[in-house]
Amino acid sequence: MATPSRRKLIRPGDKADQLAAFAEAALAAAREAERHTAATRLDISVAEIPIRLELCGDTLASIGIAALSGLRSENAHTAARIWAFDTETSGLEPPPPPWGRDAYRPRDALAVEAPEWLEISYGLVPGCLNLFDRHERTGVFWMHDARRLPGWQRTTPLRSLLRSVARRHDAWMLHAAAVANDRAAVLISGRGGSGKSTTAIGCAIAGIECLGDDVCIVRDDRVYPLYGIAKAEPRTVALLSLDRHHAIIGGDDLGRAHLRIADLGPPWRSEGRPVVAVVVPQVSAPAGRLRPLNAAAAVLACGPSTALEITGNGQAEMRFVASLLQRTPAYELGTGGDLTRVVGAISNLLEGVR
């Protein structure tokens, strides 16, 4: 029997119907923007999930290519399709939203009664709409002027929508750095400012592959890279003499340098590697010291930083992190002092030395 159209499943006049109409109009505007701007098409593979990006306009195309071109794929099959457009370039925009000013919540959440097939969020700063249709496997990103996208968001474009696609395939976006060799990977997790990026970048310079300094994907206990740009505080740039590696490609309004990961060390590869350990940097501990953490302590150290990055409450991500740490060894890693010792400790974990 034919499946009824989505419009027939929604009762006319209710709030879900208004959101459904809004989503369909936003997608129609995105498709029209694709035609108006001669959009750049970028086919990528995220944790072996083929995704097609339609990047409308030069600004969004350059941002997407800089951060995601390392995941290019020639897979003819597409698990999801995402459009990114702005009004300044295309002259098009979604209709007025069917929610009021009191609907906006922290971490881009909206207090709206969305139908079960629709994920929707809106970031007031800088003003970005994200919506994902689970049934049609289509997503839309929109903002008024892409040139106003903050520097820190340019390194992780389409993060909300890529997370939505990944979830559909039991792949989980984590707020963590990751490094790897040919056979294994180590996650570096913890709160912001704990030393994840410095440790990951230091590993890359020392010849250990960096899969990401801040965000990665875990699927079937394998770690996959996502974004090909790392961020470094001024002290990290000075400590590692990063300006000598010709990897700095820009910066952001928070004073951090943006680095092309592929220029820092070994070739950047999109395939996943099994997770053999999770480490939590601790700057107050001696450099290179590994102290085992039980699962509860590890979840407390790793889980909240991922949950806080998620639109809404992040409960599903917290459950995944807790499950992962039940079956993966976790350690506190001392990062105070000689970075060479820190890199050596991670190298030992990758080689199977405990």
Say yes or no to pLDDT of 11 above 50: no
**What does the pLDDT average to over 61-76?**
93
Residue 352 — pLDDT band, cuts 50, 70, 90?
A: confident
Phi, psi for 86 (deg, rounded to 5): -135, 160
Judged by DSSP in three states, 201 sits in helix
* Average pLDDT along the chain: 89
Judged by DSSP in three states, 56 sits in coil
Task: Give the pLDDT score at 292.
Answer: 96
Give me the numbers of helices (H) and strands (E) for the chain, helices first please.
11, 18
Q: What is the pLDDT of residues 287-296, one digit of tens each?
A: 999 999 998 9
Question: Distances from the Cα of 125 to the Cαs of 251, 254, 289, 313, in angstroms?
Answer: 19, 15, 40, 19
pLDDT above 90 covers a percentage of the chain that reads: 67
Beta bridge partners of 216: 174
**Whole-number CA gyration radius for the chain:** 21
Say yes or no to pLDDT of 4 above 60: no
Burial classification of residue 211, based on how many CB atoms lie within 10 Å of its CB (0-12 exposed, 13-18 middle, 19 or more buried): buried
Least confident interval from 85-89, 222-226, 308-312: 308-312
Q: What is the pLDDT of residues 260-305, one digit of tens each?
A: 999 888 988 899 999 999 999 998 899 999 999 998 988 988 887 7
d(CA 34, CA 245): 37
Q: What is the pLDDT of residues 327-344, one digit of tens each?
A: 999 999 999 888 999 999
Say yes or no to pLDDT of 255 above 90: no
What is the secondary structure of 4-38 as a DSSP string?
Answer: PPHHHHSPTTSHHHHHHHHHHHHHHHHHHHHHHHT
**Domains observed in the chain:** 6-169 (no CATH), 173-350 (3.40.50)
d(CA 155, CA 213): 11
Residue 181 CB neighbours (<10 A): 16
More confident residue, 151 or 35: 35
The label of the residue with tokens 């909300």 reads 160
d(CA 34, CA 118): 22
Task: Give the pLDDT score at 1.
Answer: 31
d(CA 13, CA 47): 40
Encoding tokens for residue 241?
A: 């003499």
d(CA 56, CA 165): 20
Residue 253 — pLDDT band, cuts 50, 70, 90?
A: confident
d(CA 203, CA 199): 6
Burial classification of residue 133, based on how many CB atoms lie within 10 Å of its CB (0-12 exposed, 13-18 middle, 19 or more buried): buried
DSSP 351: T
Question: Distances from the Cα of 187 to the Cαs of 216, 228, 274, in angstroms?
Answer: 9, 16, 10
